[in-house]
Amino acid sequence: MALGGERSIIAPTAVNQTLVDPGDAGTISNIVSGSLNMVSGGVETRTLAKPSHAGQTLDLFLGEDGGNVTVTLDSGGAAGEGALVYSNSGDLARLVGVYDGEISTSGLKWAIVIRVTGTSSGAPALTFP
């Protein structure tokens, strides 16, 4: 209860939203948790800024493969990744916002918690250069 006997209500937010693919050389939204189906028409790039909060999740996958898509992590990944390269339809990475050192928005980074490759050859298609 808030002061004065009033109740505070926190409105729920959507847990997972479908994000819009910004296209080649675009910036992926980092405001909410969600999933993004990337479509490539050739060799393309995307940029992803650091997470907006700890616990934020993003599922980034390549739905239609017209060429490789490289997603650059502006703040770098928690394990030192600088980019993700999607090379086959079905490649997916789940990213979670984590604190890397200091507990503040400046210390947020993306941690890669799931990686799935769409290739059936057994060779990993999603790489971390």
Per residue in 12-38, pLDDT (tens digit) is 445 689 999 999 999 999 999 999 999
Q: How crowded is residue 87: how many other Cβ atoms within 10 Å of its Cβ?
A: 20
Which residue range is the domain that position 42 belongs to? 14-116
Mean pLDDT of 64-85: 89
97 has a pLDDT exceeding 70: yes
Whether the predicted model's global pTM rises above the 0.85 cut = no
Mean pLDDT of 34-48: 96
Number of structural domains found in the chain: 1
CA distances from 119 to 46, 87, 115 (A): 21, 9, 12
Residue 73 falls inside a structural domain: yes
39 has a pLDDT exceeding 70: yes
Residue 59 falls inside a structural domain: yes
Enclosing H/E stretch for 34:
strand 34-39
Do you know the residue count of the chain? 129
